[in-house]
Structure 1
Amino acid sequence: MPSLQSVISCLSDYDPGALPVAQANQIIGELVEPVRGTEQVALRAALDRVLAEDVISRLDVPAHDNSAMDGYAFASSELAVGGNVALAVVGSAFAGAACEQAVARGQAARIMTGAIMPAGCDTVIPQEFVDVEGELIRFDAKAVRAGDNRRLRGEDLAIGQPALAAGRILQPADLGLLASLGVAEVKVRRRLRVAFFSTGDELRSIGEPLDAGCVYDSNRYTLHGMLRRMNVDLIDMGVVHDDPAALEAALRSACENADAVITSGGVSVGEADYTKQIMAQLGDVTFWKIAMRPGRPMAFGRIASHGHEALLFGLPGNPVAVMVTFYHFVRAALHRQMGAKVAPLPLMRVRSAQAIRKKPGRTEYQRGILAPAPEGGWQVSITGQQGSGVLRSMSEANCFIVLGHEQGMVAAGDEVEVMLFDGLM
């Protein structure tokens, strides 16, 4: 596993005092390795787990050519005559059973959705396109083409074909796909263990009296919610006050019991030096001022205690900055540590409903509301005050307005990039 310093040494333009977002993510990506433990779980327990190995189809799905519609099966050669086709109905095919009667030239079989295609039949005409006259059906040859409404054997999956790739976070459709292959259990990566706590003498937990100058700790609740969505095992360590011994004990305990440790507060300029000193003395840690807004200060690296090692993410203390840095740095790193292969979320380009102030040289994540524009299409507007302490700006938003590193002022009507919260949160 590479050291943090070896990764950083390869970057000629590395500046921890003004680190671009892309470079921070590059460093994190190169340092993070997936956990190795795996386990077998029942299919019903596999939702949102990370698949540990490729799943190869052991059967053809479907197992036979079958009908995709309720209608009548016949040989497509009957269409060659054109015009009005008349066929005698000889037997029926139902789902789960084959048609026992042979279908000869000039004949058709009544067939239901999912039923095996009778021998010699390759086409199904839906029942609504057919006139029934006793044991005879009539239809226009132009109403159907050869091979219509027939699902081929192995069309979904063929024997030996990869069904799902390792690293996939299993979704409901995946469970159904595995069930269709007769898979009862799957091998998944073990759940990631993540410890988190807040730092600061001014913080109080809910239920404690709120003294003058103190605030309730919201960061642990947003972190708890964001981590729960990632299906990891959580270790909530509460609030750690500004005491060197308490902080060291908390970091050691977190490191010995978790794969990753997330703290909020204590990494900004002007905060207690011992916070950074203790983080650094426990491992390979760097402290960044990232060229972004909100969320400039951040610590990242590995810490170790009594033979145990964990990733460390030291996030800012302001509530919005905690969420922004989590979504744009920590989330991807934890996915990688889980062994999950997750594509970056797409960015949409839409019109800005208003002017937005922006300085080149940093990436900004404004909180926005994406809505239909009066003239058609989509537009986005900011949620009001964008301060890193205004948590309401996140609660009211449905997207990030992502203003790139080199971008300057935005005029009303200009196109901007947005990242939807749907799929992120």
Structure 2
Amino acid sequence: MLTAQQALDHLLSHAKPVADNESVPMQASLGRVLAENVSSLVDVPPLDNTSMDGYAVRTADIQKPGSILKIAQRIPAGSVGTELQVGTAARIFTGAPVPLGADAVVMQEDCVIPEGSTDQVQVNVVPIAGQWIRRSGEDLTTGKTALTTGTFLRPQELGVAASAGVTHLNVKRRVKVAAFFTGDELSLPGEPLKPGGIYNSNRDTLLACLKSLGCDATDLGIVPDRLDATKAALRKASKDHDLIITSGGVSVGEEDHIKPAVTAEGRLDLWQIAIKPGKPLAFGAVRKSDEPKDGEAWFIGLPGNPVSSFVTFLLFVRPFILKLQGREAKQMQSYLMRADFDWLKADRRNEFLRVKLNNNGGLDLFPNQSSGVLTSASWGDGLIDCPPNQPIKAGDLVKYIPFDALLK
């Protein structure tokens, strides 16, 4: 069996970013991936401005605490004052440009208006040149790269682009993924269960995972356990999609039709990976037509057990999609944390155990680690990456991978 790293390396060696780009308005770009660098159209901020409400002053005018200056002008945000004269101060508000001649801002808490005065301020601290002043261009300068190609656009990136004066962003088109699910035992929630049947939880789990990654996901539903139906679903899915994902049917039983169907419609690697849960995984490609010039859609077949399907998606499909999107497929982010449980029945495979953060700074283990118990993933905050043949005792440091790092 391949190790998890060997299987992932094989997938990523084949993934190439989608070629098509499009220009979209700023507010339509959330969750997209930049296709080209964004350069600032302006200096940010455009002028020196104050980060505090207070008084703009000349430090040379304040040699000791208690110095009194004449208030010569008032500068709210959005206004530009006049040059500050010797012996004067400007009442100024957060975000307003600092007037010429001023070299510091004293916050209003360090100043008082002398009793009976309307145009004087008493400065009770000796300011340092530059204090509470944000310099022009300290964030961005005109022409400077604000965002780089391959950046996944979150709310904060949209804010950076807006501050740079940009209205549209050139992004990679969304990766198009088709998903279907095999198993005559499956029904959709709301339908009556068949004798011996179960509700299809993998459909909603996997489609939600795809959408959380910013994919254009197509649900092709439940496909009957027949070779002809599986082949037909693959042909349909390949037409307009970059990737096909299936759940179930990747083992070698008589009712598992993925292997012969993909082999007939394209090409297939069928693996057993030394992980638990999620040993069977299929990877290959499906022809878009009988014309080689039309290319292929990538194919990844996941196990049918719900936890196995979910975990293998996070470990293998997610980084594959990231690379298709033009993003960096980073190694899984893990943290050393304390296990507050014993796990003494070590498996010969690399195990991914569902755990939850507790109030003592450690990790608790869900009591039932079966690949069919999806509530373990809902209850948990993440996974422990447990090496083969490695028991865990309370107090041991373990590699913890939060779900939050695997679902974006």
TM-score, with length taken from structure 2: 0.93
Residue among 170, 179, 185 paired with 1:187: 170
Q: Which amino acid aligns with 1:113?
A: T
State the Cα distance separating 1:206 from its structure 2 match.
3.0
Q: Deviations over 1:173-213 (max 9, x none)?
A: 22222222221111111111110111122222334432322
Residue among 134, 138, 162 paired with 1:155: 138
Residue among 200, 223, 239 paired with 2:206: 223
Residues 25-424 of structure 1 correspond to what in structure 2 (within 5 A)? 25-79=8-62, 81-100=63-82, 102-133=83-114, 134=117, 135-142=119-126, 144-272=127-255, 274-306=257-289, 307-341=294-328, 343-357=330-344, 359=346, 361-373=348-360, 378-405=361-388, 408-424=390-406
Q: Are 2:68 and 2:123, in contact at CA under 8 Å, matched by a contact in 1?
A: yes
RMSD: 1.8
Give the equivalent residue in structure 2 for 1:11. none
* Whole-Å separation in 1 of the counterparts to 2:347 and 2:57: 68
TM-score, with length taken from structure 1: 0.90
Give percent identity, aligned residues only: 39
Q: Which amino acid aligns with 1:330?
A: V
> When the two structures are aligned, how many residues end up with a matched partner?
400
Q: Which amino acid aligns with 1:65?
A: D
State the Cα distance separating 1:275 from its structure 2 match.
2.7
Q: Which amino acid aligns with 1:39?
A: E
* Whole-Å separation in 2 of the counterparts to 1:416 and 1:271: 40
* Whole-Å separation in 2 of the counterparts to 1:209 and 1:136: 81
Note the residue ranges of structure 2 that are not aligned, 5 or more in a row.
Answer: none
Give the equivalent residue in structure 2 for 1:9. none
Q: Are 1:267 and 1:314, in contact at CA under 8 Å, matched by a contact in 2?
A: yes
* Whole-Å separation in 1 of the counterparts to 2:190 and 2:347: 44
State the Cα distance separating 1:332 from its structure 2 match.
1.0
* Whole-Å separation in 2 of the counterparts to 1:200 and 1:334: 25
- SS of residue paired to 1:422: helix
- SS of residue paired to 1:115: coil
Taking structure 1 as reference, are residues 200 and 39 closer, same or farther at Cα in structure 2, changes over 3 Å only? same
* Whole-Å separation in 2 of the counterparts to 1:282 and 1:76: 78
